[in-house]
Structure 1
Amino acid sequence: MDHSEGWATDAAKVSLVGAGIGLVVSTTKNIMSSNSPGISGIFTVHGSSIGLYAVIGGVFAGTRGLSAEIRKKDDYINTGIAGCAAGLIIGLRKRSLPSAVGRCAFLSSSLGFIDYTGGLTNKIDELSAEERERIRASVFGAKDRPINSDKD
């Protein structure tokens, strides 16, 4: 994630995306419920999903950016710290400290591992155009090879 605009701006953007995802989740819950109160149920009955996803997204992005700014490094440890913060939010919603600590440990280790192995960033974008073309040719074969070969 690019931190050139600041971690607070990144957190606000991701929080808005999280609210959008929460709206989709809330709508889906409202559609699937057996006693649907209508369209108002999206915000009244299942509306807490919107806020939860917005908070989780904002906390994750903000913690990741702030951690990178404090540590002067942008690496997998920041993702682990942010995963722990997001896990704490999810766990505390259940009003259970063991749940919060468990979710913190799970999200911290899993998201940190994914980022460590290059899963949250696209490393191919860091290569030059020539290197990307060489990799593409090695994976998909030579450019001049015909698709249909007529062997009689």
Structure 2
Amino acid sequence: MSSTTNTDDDVYHEKELILNTLKTSLGFAGVGLLVAAAQNSYYDNTRASTVFTKYGSSVTGFALLGGIFTATETITANVRKTDDWINGAVAGCAAGLTTGIRARSYALSIGACLGIGGLMGFYEFSGAWRGLLKDKTEEEKRNWRYNVFRDNKPVLDEE
């Protein structure tokens, strides 16, 4: 690291658990409401039913998964005092386990834990939307690109 970087960025700032969980749960409940509305409009309903009475489990399911993911990620980050890809992997696994528990399937629980946890861990490890080079200086980025993209053809022994 260069001498001009601020060392205050290396200090972990504790995340707010309840506020972040509620915000994410409400956002995912909105996504669940859109899914429930699409389900309600897709299937032929002979009697008048509302989105909440017939497909309300979609709304609560999405809210539950979003809340569990955010709560687990926040708790893991606050306990470990670091913000890295492991938090996302643990939270994805918790959300996957919840999906399997709601479906009453051990196989789905384990598969969704590995799948969602792996995907979220990889997403966080790759730097989310910013990429692997997000915290590097221009000189470090240039050196990294040179080392990755240089001509690495194997040398054949000439006899």
Give the TM bin, normalised by the shorter chain: 0.7 to 0.9
1:10 and 2:23 matched: no
* Cα shift at 1:119: 2.0
Counterpart AA for 1:14: T
Aligned partner (choices 89, 94, 109) of residue 85 of structure 1: 94
String of CA shifts for 1:106-147, please: whole Å, max 9, x gaps: 0001110011001256889879xxx8xxxxxxxxxxxxxxxx
Contact kept, 8 Å, 1:22 with 1:53, in 2: the verdict is yes
Contact kept, 8 Å, 2:14 with 2:78, in 1: the verdict is no
Contact kept, 8 Å, 2:65 with 2:95, in 1: the verdict is yes
* Cα shift at 1:37: 3.9
Q: Where do 5+ consecutive residues of structure 2 fail to align? A: 1-11, 139-159
**Separation (CA, whole Å) in 2 of partners of 1:3 and 1:121:** 20
1:21 and 2:22 matched: no
Aligned residues: 127
- Please, what TM-score do these two structures have when normalized by structure 1? 0.74
Contact kept, 8 Å, 1:63 with 1:85, in 2: the verdict is yes
The 3-state SS of whatever aligns with 1:47 is helix
**Separation (CA, whole Å) in 2 of partners of 1:28 and 1:37:** 17
Corresponding position of 2:113:
104
Tell me the percent identity: 37
**Separation (CA, whole Å) in 1 of partners of 2:71 and 2:130:** 17
Counterpart AA for 2:44: S
Contact kept, 8 Å, 1:83 with 1:111, in 2: the verdict is yes
The 3-state SS of whatever aligns with 1:35 is coil
**Separation (CA, whole Å) in 1 of partners of 2:129 and 2:102:** 26
* Cα shift at 1:35: 2.2
**Separation (CA, whole Å) in 2 of partners of 1:93 and 1:29:** 19
Counterpart AA for 2:53: T
Task: Assess, with a 3 A threshold, how the Cα gap between structure 1 residues 63 and 35 changes in structure 2: closer, same or farther.
Answer: same
Task: Assess, with a 3 A threshold, how the Cα gap between structure 1 residues 48 and 121 changes in structure 2: closer, same or farther.
Answer: farther
- Please, what TM-score do these two structures have when normalized by structure 2? 0.71
Task: Assess, with a 3 A threshold, how the Cα gap between structure 1 residues 121 and 62 changes in structure 2: closer, same or farther.
Answer: farther
Corresponding position of 2:62:
53
Pairwise CA RMSD: 2.5
Question: After the TM superposition, which segments of 4 or more aligned residues of structure 1 sit over 3 Å from their partners?
Answer: 2-5, 120-127
